[in-house]
Every structure is written in structure tokens, then in C-alpha cells.
Copies of this chain bind each other. A is one copy, B any other.
Amino acid sequence: MGMDGGRERLVVIGGDAAGMAAASQARRMKGPDALEIVAFERGDYTSYSACGIPYWVGGEVSGPKELIARTPEEHRARDIDLRMRTEVVEIDVAGQRVRARDVDLGAESWTSYDKLVIATGARPIRPDMPGVDAPGVHGVQTLGDGRALIDTLEGTRGRRAVVVGAGYIGVEMAEALINRGYEVTVVDRGAEPMSTLDPDMGRLVHQAMTGLGVTMVTGTEVTRMLTGDDGRVRGVATADSEYPADVVVLGIGVRPETGLARAAGLPLGAHQGLLTDRSMRVRGHENIWAGGDCVEVLDLVSGQERYIALGTHANKHGQVIGTNAGGGYATFPGVVGTAVSKVCDLEIARTGLREKDARRSGLQFVTATIESTSRAGYYPGASPMTVKMLAERRTGRLLGVQIVGREGAGKRVDIAAVALTAGLTVEQMTALDLGYAPPFSPVWDPVLVAARKATKAVRDS
């Protein structure tokens, strides 16, 4: 029941990718006469690409404006009642209303809803250690974080940087700092960087990053920040050693921001993300949807829920939610776990399950690792590429692919992403009709070479 007569009210919590994609799509489905849309955002920006922050810091992107897909004004022009710097502090599920607080003035008020979208995003993991709040220690999750880091970099004109964490954000920040002329040290507690890869593939990243001049310190936990007399950070300490730094970047990843949902009694999963059905509706709740970095997603390969904070998923969720909240029908079937990244000219990609994911899912598997090239070996610019493939024992179903290489390596993972979605076996993959011409691929694409080797391994399993 809406506020006035037949008009329903859709309330959206969170003004970034998932929330505003949902709002925009709902508006496309239903005009303002049929649907009122109110969106709350506690920060200063809407619909921005957090994934682009490393490139802004690195100087490839000139300013934060370029990372903003749509401004508050643009949303308002589409009849979305967007309330900036307004934080929702309570969801009253039984009463179908939310309590919002003006961030600057502190004033609070209740807003009722017919339909609710929760898109509260993620919050950075900020390790609880001495000195972590010292000036010069930076996270990189929000545009504000990016601005603050750039101010530090430009203000201090240091030359040494430590990045804590060697996952996607960590390696991308390593590149950004290299581009800024810094000597970069990356410290990670894992035995190899990029724990989203198997360690044997992570080792290739390790070697390549060392080759790029990055000091890699792995298997080592940062225990505290070192600070100077002025209180500013001057390095990081591990159990064994100290690493001087003029700036420290925390690239440890994020957790779902679901305190609000938890307090409201909404269902959370093992990773503390909201649990939804295929239409992105919060389980057990007819009129509440959730999407983006605050939800868990179904992994189509393992059949289990995972937590993946990624803009491309958030946009898809928003699209699906907006369609459904607008009275249409759409689903988000799940993910296969594709991710791609680069550090300078090194490209890193993965999709599906790692060895430990497969084991954890009760899947027995074989692996095949091959080296090939991005183009025909004789064609200029052909660069080496390592492809690792996991296939289920006996059935031969593809379970995962990891690729480390140079130009042309990263997006090749899409071949495997589609194959995983379709449930192809590695033997079926050997016959895939992939694009071939000498500037684009060897006559056997690296993915096909891996599929052939994996097929052999399956036969022997």
C-alpha cells in the first residue's frame, strides 16, 4: 500500500551500482505516476566505479568525475527522490519502514515502503593493529579514500610504499604506485600472492611482480604500523622485520556491510552476506530485494554460496531487482567466479574453482597446466601464457581455469566462463570453434591446448 492511493513506494538503501541500477531499471519499468522511488545514500557520490580507483591513483584516469557513471542530479532528473548524505540506520521489516538519519544534522525520520531494496555494499577489512589509523595509512574502497590517498601521495612526495595484501586490489595498487614512481613492497600472509589462484599459479604472479621491480614479502603477516614522532606512518612491522614506507595502502579486501540487515533479522549466510533467491529477493521476504556487495551469490560450479564484491555483479543484480520490483521478471542465476586483473603488463585471470574449492565441494578432479602463446608463435608480440585447467574426475566436466600471461591472456578466461556456465566437459571444449588468425591466436588456442591435456588426464582418472 503506497502513501497516496495506488502509487507504490520503492525505497532503496545505498546509492552505488546495485542500488541505483535497481532504481533506474524500476523507473524504466514504471513511471512516476505508478511508482515513487526514494533512495538513500550516506556518502557524497552515486553510481561510481570503485574498481577504477587504482587507475585514478595511478594517473591513468584524471579525476573522480570520470569514475562516476551517473550523478545525483542525473538520477533526480529521472524522477528518483535521491537523498544524499542520509544514512538508513534501521529497517523495520514488520512496519515496512526505514529510519534515516541526516549525516550532517543528525535529524532522523521514518519512511515507509511497499518494496525495499538493500544495496548497502561492503566495508573494507581494516585490520585491528597498532597504528592502522595513522596518517599515511590508506584504504581504497571509496572515492573519498582515493582522494585522500592521492592527497597523501602528492603532499608527501615520498618514494617508498608498502601495500598490505596481494589480492586484486593489492596488485592493482602496486601498479598504481609503480606508475607514480614509488618503490613498492607488497606484504601478504599467503605463501604466494593472489590467493584467488592456486599457489602454483600464484607463484607465476610472484615471479612476474618481482620482475617488475616489486619487493614481494609473502607468508608474512603485518603486525603493526610503524609511526614517526609526528604520528605519521613510516613503515610496517612483521614478526621478523620492518619495511620502511612513506605511505601504506591496505588492500585486504572487503566484507559485506550487513549490520542493518542483521539487526532487522534478515537472513545472512556463512560469509555474512544477505541470502537471496534467484530473483534477488531476500529469502523469506516477498517485498525486499538485495544485491551488490552486501549479498552472497550462488556459485554455479560448486553449488554453494560465495561472497564476491565486484561491480559487474552489482550492476546485474540491480538490473534484475529493478525489473522485478518494477513488476517484470528477471533472474540472476549465479556466478562461476570469473575475475581478471593486471599489474603493468602482467594479466591474471581465473574462473570456476581452485583446487581447494573443488576439494571443499566434494569434487574429485584432475588438473592440466600448459604453456602457450597469445598469438601464433611466429607473429610479432606473441607472449607466453600459462593456462591451468581443472576438470572433474570421470565426468570430465570443466571445473575451473586460471591464466597468467601478458597481453591477450586475461579475457581468454571468458571462453572458460561460458563453458562453465554451459556445463561443458573438457573434451567438448577441445572442439570449440574459437577465433583463429595468426595475430590473435596460435592455430590451437591456449585454452584448447589445456583442454586437450585435461582430456587426457580425465581419461587416465
User: Which A positions have Cβ atoms within 8 angstroms of B?
Assistant: 17, 49, 51-52, 55, 60-61, 66-67, 69, 168, 172, 310-313, 315-316, 331-333, 335-342, 349, 351, 376, 378-380, 408, 410-415, 417-419, 421-424, 428, 430-441, 443-445
Which chain B positions have C-beta within 8 A of A310? 436
Q: How far apart are the CA atoms of A385 and B60 in the complex, in Å?
A: 21
Return A65 CB to nearest CB of chain B, in Å: 9
Return A182 CB to nearest CB of chain B, in Å: 20
B415 touches A432 (CB 8 A): no
A434 touches B51 (CB 8 A): no
Q: From the candidates B55, B413, B430, name the one contacting A379 in the complex (CB within 8 A).
A: B55
5 contacts between A and B (CB under 8 A): A66-B378, A333-B431, A340-B441, A410-B437, A419-B422
| Copies per complex of this chain | 2
Q: From the candidates B69, B316, B433, name the one contacting A338 in the complex (CB within 8 A).
A: B433
Q: Given A66-B378, A410-B435, 15 other A-B contacts at CB below 8 A?
A: A49-B376, A49-B438, A67-B378, A311-B443, A312-B441, A312-B443, A315-B444, A339-B436, A411-B435, A411-B440, A414-B414, A414-B432, A415-B418, A418-B422, A418-B432
Closest to A320 in B: B431
Return A295 CB to nearest CB of chain B, in Å: 15
Q: From the candidates B311, B421, B445, name the one contacting A433 in the complex (CB within 8 A).
A: B421
Which chain B positions have C-beta within 8 A of A315? 443-444
Which chain B positions have C-beta within 8 A of A69? 443
